[in-house]
Each structure stands twice: as C-alpha cells, then as structure tokens.
Amino acid sequence: MKRALKLGIAALLAACGSMPAVEHHFASEADLLEIQAVLKRDLRVRGSATLARLDADAVQQACNLNGNAPPEPLVKTLEAQQMAAINFPAGSLIGDWKRGESIAQSGRGMQWNDGPKDVAGGSCYNCHQLAPQEASYGTLGPSLLGFGKLRGNSAETQKYAYGRIYNSKAYNLCSQMPRLGHSGTLDEQQIKDLVALLLDPDSPVNK
C-alpha cells in the first residue's frame, strides 16, 4: 500500500513537471560564443555525429542562458512552439507494448558508433523504472511503474504520453529528457509502441 502511494506521488510529481533541486549554472552570451568556438575547434565528425549537431536551437539557448529556469513568458512561448511542432497522428496512439518494451530497453541511436542500419531505441530504462521485471533501471527520471493504471488510457492521456515522448520540452522547457521524436531518434510507430508500454492494461508496467 505504502509503496503504491509513493509511486503515485512520484507519477504526480512527474505530471507537474517539477524537478528536484540541482546546481544552476547561468552562462552569458559571451560564454556561449566561447563554448561554441571551442566545440567547433576541438570536436570531429564521426559517423552520424556531425558538427551541425553543435548548432544551438532556441530551447537550448534559453536553458543555457538561464540555468535551466528561463523567465516564465519565454518558457510559455517556447513550449508553445515546441508543442506546435509535434506531429500527433490521428486515431489510437497505442501500439504494441511488447515492441515498446524492446525499444525501452535499447540504448542505441544517434551515437557515433551506431551504424546506419542500427535501429534506434529510446534508452528509457537508463533513466526510468518501467516494467517491474526489469531490476536494472535508472533514476534520473521519475518511476513510470503503474503509469497507465494510475491514469487510464483515454485519448487525452494517449496524447499526453505520445507528446511527452516526442518532445518533452513542449511540457517542461528545460526537461532533461531528450526530444525523442523531434530529434528524429524514434519514428511514429516506435513512439506508439512506447505509449502502449505505458498505457496498455496488458503491459507489465500496469500489472
């Protein structure tokens, strides 16, 4: 009982997008220019990891300049822009939780040693608890055990789960979670499969 309550609180905190206290570091515009120059000078293209990856977008810029806590109006503007760029597919967003589980397990994708034929994963277990059978899970993100049990799987919840995986920054601008759809790491079907892992009543996450 106590355990279930704790998990519920963790999931609620995750829903609010609140983050535990961490050291905030505020870079200046000059710092960012200096760092960009150093990175462009000392990093080398390898495999798919090209120097184009160093170009900062508006979200990264805002988070770097403001210690991951930009002023509220800027947060709202940028979150809305990120939200508008999510391609929500029509119809059910619940794919196959079994495929979702293997996507959640895989840490492949976007690294310079990943080959062009390697299928990317979501690295989910690196940071989140999901299925209770998987004991080796990280804790950088909130536990997602019982995610669907707690929230049901209405169209609205499906949309939230899909969007959060596609682009976490649309919900919490300086979230530490990678924008897995926005960055081109995972495709539409893969994200649907992860939504199934979270929301399907048959998924071990909800058993």
Partner 1 sequence: MRAPILFLLLISLANGGFAQDVKKEIEKYQQMVADSSPVELFELQGEILWAKRQGPNNASLEQCDLGLGAGVLKGAYAQLPRWFKDADRVMDLEARLLHCMGTLQGRSREEASKRVFGNEDQPSEMEYLSAFVASQSRGAAMAPGQAHAKERAAYALGQKLFFFRAGPWDFSCASCHGEEGKRIRMQELPVLSSPAAARPVVATWPAYRVSNSQFKTMQWRINDCFRQMRMPEPAYTSDLTIAIATYLTVNGKGEPYRGPGTKR
Instruction: Report the C-alpha gap between 104 and 130 in whole angstroms.
Output: 9
- Minimum Å gap between C-beta 19 and partner 1 is 9
- Minimum Å gap between C-beta 184 and partner 1 is 7
> Could you please report the per-residue DSSP string of 92-142?
-----HHHHHHHHH---SSSTTS-TTSPP---HHHH---STT------SS-
Chosen residue from 12, 13, 33, 54 binding partner 1 by CB under 8 A? 54
Residue 129 burial by Cβ neighbours in a 10 Å radius (0-12, 13-18, 19+): buried
Query: Three-state SS for 53?
Result: helix
Q: Considering the rule CB under 8 A, would residue 80 count as an interface residue with partner 1? A: no
Chosen residue from 111, 119, 187, 202 binding partner 1 by CB under 8 A? 111
Nearer to partner 1, 20 or 91 (CB): 20
Q: Mask of contacts with partner 1, 116-155, x by CB under 8 A?
A: ---------xxx----x--xxxxxx---------------
Q: Considering the rule CB under 8 A, would residue 39 count as an interface residue with partner 1? A: yes
- Give 49's strand partners: 46
Chosen residue from 1, 5, 22, 84 binding partner 1 by CB under 8 A? 22
SS (H, E, C) 135-158: CCCCCCCCCCCCHHHHHCCCHHHH
Q: Which residues of the shown chain bind partner 1 in the complex (CB under 8 A)?
A: 3, 20, 22-23, 25, 27, 31-32, 34-35, 38-39, 41-46, 49-51, 53-54, 56, 59-60, 63-64, 110-113, 125-127, 132, 135-140, 169, 176, 178-179, 183-185
